[in-house]
Amino acid sequence: MLLRLIYINIINESVDALEEHFIERLSKLVSIPSVSCTASNRPDVFRVADVIYQEMIKLGIDAEKRHPGTQTIDGEQIDLPPVLFGKYGYDKNKKTVLIYGDPASISDGWRTDPWKLVYCKETDRLYGRGATDDKGPLIGWLNAIEAFQKANIEIPVNLVFCFEGMEESGSVGLYELIQEEADKYFSNVDCICISDNYWLGTKKPCLSYGLRGIVCYTITITGPPADLHSGIFGGITYEPMTDLIYLLSSLVKPNGSILIPGIMDKVQPLTPEEKALYENISISMEEIEHSLGSKTLIYDNTRCTLMHRWRYPSLSIHGIEGAYSSPGIKTVIPSRVSGKVSIRLVPDMDCEEVTVLVKKHLESVFATLGSKNVLSVEPNKGAKAWLSPVNHWNYRAASKAIEKIYGVAPDFTREGGSIPVVLTMESCLKKNVLLLPMGRGDDGPHSINEKLDRSNYVQGIKLFGTYLCELAAV
Amino acid sequence: MLLRLIYINIINESVDALEEHFIERLSKLVSIPSVSCTASNRPDVFRVADVIYQEMIKLGIDAEKRHPGTQTIDGEQIDLPPVLFGKYGYDKNKKTVLIYGDPASISDGWRTDPWKLVYCKETDRLYGRGATDDKGPLIGWLNAIEAFQKANIEIPVNLVFCFEGMEESGSVGLYELIQEEADKYFSNVDCICISDNYWLGTKKPCLSYGLRGIVCYTITITGPPADLHSGIFGGITYEPMTDLIYLLSSLVKPNGSILIPGIMDKVQPLTPEEKALYENISISMEEIEHSLGSKTLIYDNTRCTLMHRWRYPSLSIHGIEGAYSSPGIKTVIPSRVSGKVSIRLVPDMDCEEVTVLVKKHLESVFATLGSKNVLSVEPNKGAKAWLSPVNHWNYRAASKAIEKIYGVAPDFTREGGSIPVVLTMESCLKKNVLLLPMGRGDDGPHSINEKLDRSNYVQGIKLFGTYLCELAAV
């Protein structure tokens, strides 16, 4: 215990000594425009993989590039970027932790050069695309290794790496690769750590133990074979748009209550233990309103608000395909319209069961309309919710590390959205997954002016190192 | 009476003798790609005006080109095409009839060359863009004059012409021109005839005495300042799309009933006389279904169907701006969405009164939602309904002419849509307007394969000549 504390102190001093070098290293990564969703930037995704590969080799990691195949993008068949695998340490007496990271971005709307890491002294922030999502955290792990090395301290766990370039574009090819290597490359993995999310707010670190799932539906009403003149046919024919609007209005109330019978039956009841996790979470209504940008929250307290973000399902109507959607007025009756709807799932909601309920509800409401149009309901994609036991040793180790670095016990949080790679890792490897964020809730990943606070970067590197030490001890 | 019959016979024989010449003349007009809504085709709209102007001069019409000014289109400021005015006959003892026509088209989706008039012998049809809307009817009037001239018979009425190139693009500039010339150029006009609509079906000619009006609304719900991630904000914020869908569903039932309180109060009650006009109308449910292209009509008989097309209001939802409208799924919560709605108006509904009712209804429904978003309702454009007394001498003359040419009394029909120029003519000149169609209900104006039956063209020319004779006599 005492020795561990001394080691951790030494490593952290090593991090402080290397700070400028670590900033330089992140700067180098951010300068590569690795956008994964366009064909023209694909060579840059290869470049960023190569730079990280070289860094891994330099640190003594047994790194290798795996090639998941090809994909068609912008009409071109192009190679998927390599997934970087790596191993560091093979001691059978140590735990083995799998570290995941993704160093490529999506395209977004920056007004300044997003491919240059800019340090703003006044705010102590590092601005740049990918700074917080996910180049900073990824390179943070390599920095932590270097800190151990420079301090001449042996890392008390074995490390396995999986860095992919396609996370922001659906992790194409990753599931198959992980599945195939589950009993081979990844056979010794004891736990998994992913640093690809954020603190809830801006002041207190957190550990995340849950994600909502999602299932999407395309609800289509088909009427006549072509769009109609509303002067000629308005009032005499069943209009697909009117039917669809009626169906969509039967799904959810403006206050967020889902109206589909049976949909709430599988939602896990709230236990006193779970409720207790919400008691001291460090976030105010003002912070949530600030992130929303308006005062249009449904609930007037943070507990209800967070529960409805994390542990209750929600239903959103995203749009309608086939109807007029431009500025101005076009008075045509669309012949075929499709409503796009998603439901955020929570434990223990099952995609297939939800789909049965959605279809049954829509079909029975549609039957009451007496319309002669045709209804179809197509589920589009599904990912179930994810929930990790917060008393797992992986979480305990991370919690202790946070207390050491930040002097405060972490909030235990969930996320309202999905991170598909979490499900991929857990379902393929059957090991505990921990979400250990480096950045803050206002970092703005995928947004203009994405940033990572310099202190979060530096403390995050220390946190990673400390976590590895605590892992060995739990 | 007898003399009139003899004259009419002679004129009709003259039409038959000139048939090939008349087809050639239409062919020449159709070959000019006069599309009024694109800047690149604007020179062709000038060309078509010039060709018609030359034809008018050749026939001895005192024709002149009026220039209504400029407009901005495709980002360019360009000249509006000339409106052709013309006078033929100045006999103070004769009635004066104003003939309106529009020789330019809108762009559409033809798969074959639409700018070539093709005669199909099997179907006896003339195919070509503008054949029926409105080059055929327009040139039909000039043909009728030529038939009189070749038969050496004096036209028993004075003629005034107004041919414009912008009808399909909102008649830009026409209202001002007509308004300005009402007491000058048009001061002697006794009645107006517009041949810019169609038989109800394909077998029986008709006279049209009514049009529905229209008023459009943009219903906007404004929430947060930017689109939201539905994982993060789904379930905790009032979603503009959910509010809007609820409001739209409160406007109209799938069976077409408008749910806005008070909206039906101003609709004219059905009188026995009006009801009688619906008794013998020559159209079957199969024909209406055929024009609709599907079996999704609300009513099971033609009388109810036609009444709901012509004499009752309807409400259509055309689309939503600001929400996702492409194929596939995008799980974003749109921050600001606008529903596009139109109401077809009938006598005696007033645009302003309807707008008051729509706003009041939407605001009161919105208040029940408890949403913190913001609602706004903007009326976009309005045109009142039009109804002409069918016992006016203008209609009696046309009815007699139809009996002479087709051997059958016409159906008295209305249209469900609007023809703004009808309102312009009536409100500026304060004279009776007659809609006297040349083509059939299946001509497909604005559609691919627009056609005009050759027999309708030839009989239509005879009808125009006969109408002028009957006008002089009533």
**For B458, phi and psi rounded to 5 degrees?**
-70, -50
Rounded alpha-carbon distances, angstroms, from residue B80 to B38, B68, B122, B167 = 12, 6, 40, 12
What local confidence, expressed as pLDDT, does residue A110 receive? 58
Q: Do residues A134 and A438 touch, judged by C-beta distance below 8 A?
A: no
What local confidence, expressed as pLDDT, does residue A106 receive? 66
pLDDT band at B89 (very low <50, low <70, confident <90, very high): very high
3-state SS of B304-334 is HHHHHHHCCCEEEEEEEECCECCCCCCCEEC
Q: Is B226 exposed, middle or buried (0-12, 13-18, 19+ CB in 10 A)?
A: middle
Closest CA to B372 of A309, A255, A253: A255
Of all residues in chain B, the percent with pLDDT exceeding 90 is 77
Alpha carbon dihedral B151, B154, B158, B159, in 10-degree steps, equals 10
pLDDT at residue B216 greater than cutoff 60: yes
Residues of A in contact with B443 (CB under 8 A): none
Is omega for the bond preceding B350 within 30 degrees of 0, making it cis? no
Q: Which of B232, B235, B288 shows the shortest C-beta gap to A256?
A: B235
Yes or no, beta carbons of B331 and A315 under 8 Å apart: no
Q: Do residues B88 and B111 touch, judged by C-beta distance below 8 A?
A: no
Chain A, nearest residue to B248 by Cα:
A245
Name the pairing type of β-strands B62-66 and B374-383: unpaired
- How many Å lie between the alpha carbon of A338 and the closest alpha carbon of chain B? 9
Q: Which of B235, B253, B255 shows the shortest C-beta gap to A314?
A: B235
A395: enclosing H helix or E strand: helix A393-406
Yes or no, beta carbons of B305 and A236 under 8 Å apart: yes
What local confidence, expressed as pLDDT, does residue A418 receive? 87
Chain B, nearest residue to A214 by Cα:
B231
**Separation between Cα atoms, residue B345 and residue A229, nearest integer Å:** 15
Q: Which of A223, A234, A318 shows the shortest C-beta gap to B344?
A: A234
Count contacts between A and B (CB, < 8 Å): 284
Q: Which of B288, B299, B321 shows the shortest C-beta gap to A325?
A: B321
Q: Which amino acid is at A152?
A: N
- Residues within 8 A of A (CB atoms), B 294-323 only: 294-299, 305, 308-309, 312-323
Quote the tokens at residue A148: 């151990």
What local confidence, expressed as pLDDT, does residue B111 receive? 53
**Separation between Cα atoms, residue A402 and residue B215, nearest integer Å:** 63
- Residues within 8 A of B (CB atoms), A 93-132 only: none
Q: Do residues A358 and A377 touch, judged by C-beta distance below 8 A?
A: yes
Residues 6+ apart with CB under 8 A from A70: A77, A78, A79, A80
**If you compute the radius of gyration of chain A from its CA atoms, what whole number of angstroms results?**
25
How open is the CA angle B202-B208-B210, to the nearest 5 degrees?
Answer: 130
Yes or no, beta carbons of B230 and A342 under 8 Å apart: yes
Yes or no, beta carbons of B235 and A309 under 8 Å apart: yes
Q: Establish if B229 touches chain A: CB-CB under 8 angstroms.
A: yes
What local confidence, expressed as pLDDT, does residue A2 receive? 82
Least confident of A105-114, A458-467, B407-416, B453-462: A105-114
**Separation between Cα atoms, residue A149 and residue A143, nearest integer Å:** 10
Q: Is A380 helix (H, G, I), strand (E, B) or coil?
A: strand
**Separation between Cα atoms, residue B426 and residue B213, nearest integer Å:** 14
- B171 sits in the region (left: phi over 0; alpha: psi -120 to 50; else beta) called left
Quote the tokens at residue B291: 């024009």
Chain B, nearest residue to A320 by Cα:
B325
Confidence (pTM): 0.88
Yes or no, beta carbons of B317 and A214 under 8 Å apart: no
Chain A, nearest residue to B417 by Cα:
A231
Rounded alpha-carbon distances, angstroms, from residue B48 to A455, B27, B92, B106, B194 = 73, 12, 32, 14, 19
B163: enclosing H helix or E strand: strand B158-163
B213-267+312-379: CATH class: alpha beta
- How many Å lie between the alpha carbon of B202 and the closest alpha carbon of chain A? 16
One digit per residue, pLDDT tens: chain A, 474 residues? 788 899 999 999 999 999 999 999 999 998 988 887 778 888 888 999 999 999 999 999 999 999 988 888 778 888 889 999 999 999 999 999 999 998 877 665 555 577 888 899 999 999 888 888 889 999 999 999 999 999 999 999 999 999 998 877 778 888 899 999 999 999 999 999 999 999 998 999 999 999 999 999 999 999 999 999 999 999 999 999 999 999 999 999 999 999 999 999 999 999 999 999 998 898 999 999 998 999 999 999 999 999 999 999 999 999 999 999 999 888 899 999 999 999 999 999 999 999 999 999 999 999 999 999 999 999 987 889 999 999 999 999 999 999 999 999 999 999 999 888 999 999 999 999 999 999 998 888 877 788 999 999 999 999 999 999 999 999
- Residues within 8 A of B (CB atoms), A 348-367 only: none
Q: Which of B239, B249, B331 shows the shortest C-beta gap to A246?
A: B249
**ipTM of this complex:** 0.88
pLDDT band at B112 (very low <50, low <70, confident <90, very high): low
Say which residue the tokens 């596009």 belong to.
Answer: B340
pLDDT average, residue stretch B89-112: 81
Q: Do residues A12 and A153 touch, judged by C-beta distance below 8 A?
A: no
Closest CA to A174 of A161, A183, A165, A185: A165
pLDDT by residue (tens digit) across B217-269?
Answer: 999 999 999 999 999 999 999 999 999 999 999 999 999 999 999 999 999 99
How open is the CA angle A354-A334-A358, to the nearest 5 degrees?
Answer: 10
Residues of B in contact with A243 (CB under 8 A): 254
Residues 6+ apart with CB under 8 A from B131: B26, B30, B117, B443, B450, B451, B452
pLDDT band at B424 (very low <50, low <70, confident <90, very high): very high
- Residues within 8 A of A (CB atoms), B 411-470 only: 415-418
- Indicate the length of chain B as a whole number: 474
Q: Do residues A35 and A45 touch, judged by C-beta distance below 8 A?
A: yes
Q: Do residues A227 and A306 touch, judged by C-beta distance below 8 A?
A: no
Partnered with residue B65 across adjacent β-strands are B84
Q: In the 8-state DSSP scheme, what is residue A168?
A: G
Partnered with residue A193 across adjacent β-strands are A99, A434
- How many Å lie between the alpha carbon of A341 and the closest alpha carbon of chain B? 8
Name the pairing type of β-strands A96-101 and A191-194: parallel
**Separation between Cα atoms, residue B362 and residue A149, nearest integer Å:** 68
Quote the tokens at residue B290: 């055929």
What local confidence, expressed as pLDDT, does residue B418 receive? 87
What local confidence, expressed as pLDDT, does residue A107 receive? 60
Q: B162-179 b/e with 16+ CB inside 10 Å = b?
A: bbbbbbbbebbbbbebbe
**Separation between Cα atoms, residue A141 and residue A163, nearest integer Å:** 11
Q: Which amino acid is at A70?
A: T
Name the pairing type of β-strands A191-194 and A432-435: parallel
pLDDT band at B389 (very low <50, low <70, confident <90, very high): very high
The CATH number of domain B1-211+385-472 is 3.40.630.10: yes
- Residues within 8 A of B (CB atoms), A 161-220 only: 212, 214, 216, 218
**Separation between Cα atoms, residue B254 and residue A365, nearest integer Å:** 12
**For A393, phi and psi rounded to 5 degrees?**
-60, -25
Residues of B in contact with A214 (CB under 8 A): 231, 331
Is omega for the bond preceding B196 within 30 degrees of 0, making it cis? no
Q: Which of B297, B319, B371 shows the shortest C-beta gap to A237?
A: B297
Q: Do residues B452 and B213 touch, judged by C-beta distance below 8 A?
A: no
**Separation between Cα atoms, residue B117 and residue B114, nearest integer Å:** 8
Q: In the 8-state DSSP scheme, what is residue B268?
A: P
pLDDT band at B168 (very low <50, low <70, confident <90, very high): confident
Q: Do residues B172 and B70 touch, judged by C-beta distance below 8 A?
A: no
- How many Å lie between the alpha carbon of B232 and the closest alpha carbon of chain A? 5
- Residue ranges covered by each domain of chain B: 1-211+385-472, 213-267+312-379
Q: Which of A236, A298, A324 shows the shortest C-beta gap to B318?
A: A324
